[in-house]
Amino acid sequence: MQPNLLPPLSPVPEKQLLQNVPYFLTPEKIRTIGGLLDYFMQEKKPFLQTGYSIRDLGDDLGIPSYQLSAFINQWLGMNFNEYFNWFRVKHCQELMDNGDTEQLNLRGLAYLCGFNNRNTLTTAFKKFTGQTPSVYSKKTSAA
């Protein structure tokens, strides 16, 4: 039995979108940013670079960072660090599922997945999956 990967990111309910909105994104802007961001995150994997900021992402996409921040906050219901950590955790899961991490300790896995340290990896992993990387890895290798 292969463990489930994280579910896809989904927009927050529309009712929550209109509460405390500091910057309004038009439906066209949401589609544009969403499409560019999805493509860039899947193909370029900037989340694997430590120290990569929302300003870097904005520069790479040609989108002002305040618009990216508004999209991530309002549409996905998380902040930039949570968004990147979601991709990092998903990447860790894929590596573990493929058996590409058997020779790594948590520190090595953290750096390979773009985290600054193993504590940040463990905290993010548990937040998004409900279990630690060690528990997930044991379940994966036992399957």
Residue 25's pLDDT band (cuts 50, 70, 90):
confident
Find out whether 89 and 95 touch, Cβ atoms under 8 Å.
no
d(CA 33, CA 26) in angstroms, rounded, equals 11
Indicate if the pLDDT at residue 138 is higher than 80: yes
Domains of the chain (ranges, CATH numbers): 14-77 (no CATH), 91-142 (1.10.10)
Indicate if the pLDDT at residue 3 is higher than 70: no
d(CA 25, CA 30) in angstroms, rounded, equals 6
Residue 21's pLDDT band (cuts 50, 70, 90):
low
d(CA 137, CA 98) in angstroms, rounded, equals 11
- Which residue is listed with tokens 């439906």? 27
pTM (two decimals): 0.84
Half-sphere exposure of 104 (CA within 13 A, CB side): 18
Find out whether 23 and 67 touch, Cβ atoms under 8 Å.
yes
* More confident call, 40 vs 17: 40
**16-30, 61-75, 80-94: segment of lowest average pLDDT:** 16-30
**Given this model, what pLDDT does residue 102 score?**
86
pLDDT in tens, 82-104: 999 999 999 999 999 998 998 99
d(CA 90, CA 88) in angstroms, rounded, equals 5
**Given this model, what pLDDT does residue 10 score?**
57
